[in-house]
A and B are shown apart, each in its own frame.
Chain A
Amino acid sequence: MTRIYTPWFLLAAALILAAIYLFPLYWMYVTSLKSSSEIFANPPTFWPRDPDPGIYAQVWHRRTMPTFLWNSLVIASGVTAVTIVLGTGCAYVLARYRNVWIDIGLFVVLMLQVLPASVMVTPLFVGFNQVGLLGYPRTAVVLAAAAKAMPFFVVLVRATFMSVPRELEEAALVDGNSRVGAFFTIVLPLARNGILVCAILTFMTAFGEYIYSKSIIQSPSLQPASVGLSGFLGPNSTDWSSIMAYSAIYVTPILAIFVLLQRRIVSGLTSGALK
């Protein structure tokens, strides 16, 4: 796949493709600066008639954004941690063997995430209430969201483990390592990049976790940013400009961090997983 076209030509093509794909993001920024009715103007304005950047400061203050963002961070980190700890090992085993039990295990893992979160909320809510977890709402949300994210993580990381050659592990075992040792010293480092990518995806999904948080976390000081966003929806009116501004404040740093992080991982990927 390394036919050498002019790299600059490829870069130009890449930029065009990215620009097309990012158009909705651009629309988000532009809408945040428009007045409420201009959003519906025909013909649509690709640049606001009367940009109002003051809305960003307004939204930041109106919405206790620092608290919300912190809660989102806490929940996302928790979910990622739980998912990695429980999911990695499971994925490793499911990749290592090929028999009926593994098939069943993979199948069960897959099927357990089929139901949408909206129908899972009520029984989880009732269950959490019974065990008293509603007193620790963020923990409850972390557990619920991790259960949602884990099957996805396991299936993907399993695919990563599949690309780690069995021979290397066998060699380590022959050399006298225990299974535990071989796992931690040989297999895990080789699968590191795939795991990292999946962890990041899990983090980003969990950052936007909405349905569970909305019902389980009742106190505004513990709610994540996604729930804070829904506060702009009124019964009859919706403050779209503020919603877009809020969303911009929320999205931009994450996107920036991810783009930077991604470069490091990808450089690891392209140098080959099989050093």
Chain B
Amino acid sequence: MQLSRLGLLAGLAAGALIAATPAQAQVTLKVWSIDGNDRPGIADTFSKEFDDANEDIVVEYRYIPFDELVNETLRAFATGNAPDIVSFDNPDFALFSSRGAMLDITDRVEASDIINVDAYFEGPLNSVKWEGRLYGLPKYTDTIGIFYNKDLFAKAGLSKPPATWAEVVEYAEKLTDPASAVYGITFSARAGEEGTFQFLPIIQMSGGNADKVNTEGAAEVLELWKQLIDNGWASRDVLSLGQWDSTGAFNSGNAAMAISGPWEIDRMVEDAQFDWGVALLPTITEGGERSSALGGFNWGIMANTRHPDEAFRLLEYYVSQEDRLFPEFGNLPARGDIELPVTGIEKKDAALKVFQEQLQYAQPRGPHPEWQKISKAIYDAEQQALTGQMSAMDALNQAQATIDTIFNK
């Protein structure tokens, strides 16, 4: 561990020396991200604009499928072909930033006129920090809330969305209608990051976090969720459905409530044949602590880049265009100071307002370099509890034991 850090520092020092020599006529920057494959996206569009606007810099953009980002970057790192700027899913960022693979840009950001660190939501910003230093910037963000079918609510005599998880169970019972194949609620407790994505906020609301998962509150809600499944108020398949597929059932009228995020809005506006709305994620106790999942990606400059200054200029350009994120690409910027333009679609605008409010409470997953192992411990425990293999508290305790070994290394 020590040796490799030293080696990396030595490498950086050497690199700095080389970079101090006068710049070449043309600098090539490599940018990797998940955008631009299906339709123009943030990274590819902005990169091209920057390329066109700057004579001395050429930006080579490469699209990478999102579940290959980390592995491709690792492989490229191993063969010395790492990109200059890369965009990671926010929980994966710490894997790189904690090992010194991302450039420390704290000072550059402070000196920058374009970037204002305080404008960012706390959650996304935390995911790019490591030990107090800044290693990247949020690219866009999202979170989750609870969608509900207003028509079905009205039929069941309910007027407001549920505010606590106990209320969720109560409402789900009233809303479930097996004859019409309607479940009270649908969500995702899938074996994978999506399961943890939806469960971690519960842990956080109960006072825990990635390092402490076996809280009373979390076990309580897990038992409530088990009730939902056992009584048939939520489908047993929440254990294998992802958020997108699960909410598809909501759109088809087969569930009265769904937990998912802003990415659902466009499809819902098109496919849902009923009146719907979004509410903040329910809390454990009335008026209790709020939390929600933090999705979205982060930008970072890789530490062994040969052109840190130019790469930083490109990063500043991305930040300067953040007000275009929503109108052009449908992504939520991670900043509280950008107003989202009104789209004119009533349900969509109402939903976005709720999500923007929710973002104030969204907390990151980690950050921790071994987040993925923590995540597996969490979703394994979640599934063990929901399938009745163990009691919720026992399952969480087992997860905690695994997590302790990770944190105590």
Contact = CB atoms under 8 A, between A and B. Distances in A.
Contacts of A238: 244
Contact of B38 (A35, A62, A125, A214): A62
A42 interface: yes
A62 B37 CA distance: 10
| Contact residues on B (Cβ < 8 Å of other chain), bracket | 35 or more
A235 B252 contact: no
Interface stretch (A106-114, A151-159, A226-234, A254-262): A226-234
Contacts, number: 83
Contacts of B264: 237
Contact of A37 (B37, B142, B248): B248
A233 B64 CA distance: 11
Q: Which of A41, A43, A236, A239 has the most CB of B within 10 A?
A: A236
Contacts of B72: 215
A124 B46 CA distance: 34
Interface in A225-275: 230-239
Contacts of A214: 65, 68
Contacts of A122: 75, 78
Interface string A194-233: 0000000000000000000011001010000000001111
Interface in B235-294: 243-246, 248-249, 251-254, 261, 263-264, 267, 270-272
Contacts of A230: 65
B78 A126 contact: yes
B271 A236 contact: no
Given A42-B181, A233-B66, A236-B263, A36 B248 contact: yes
A237 B71 CA distance: 21
Interface string B119-162: 00000000000000000000000100000000000000000000
Contacts of B243: 236
Given A126-B78, A236-B263, A237-B267, A40 B66 contact: no
B376 interface: no
Interface centre among B37, B67, B142, B271 (most CB of A within 10 A): B37
B282 to A, nearest CB: 21
B267 A36 contact: yes
A144 to B, nearest CB: 14
Given A62-B38, A125-B79, A39 B248 contact: yes
B68 A40 contact: no
A239 B78 CA distance: 33
B228 interface: no
8 contacts: A37-B252, A37-B267, A41-B252, A42-B249, A129-B81, A235-B295, A236-B244, A236-B261
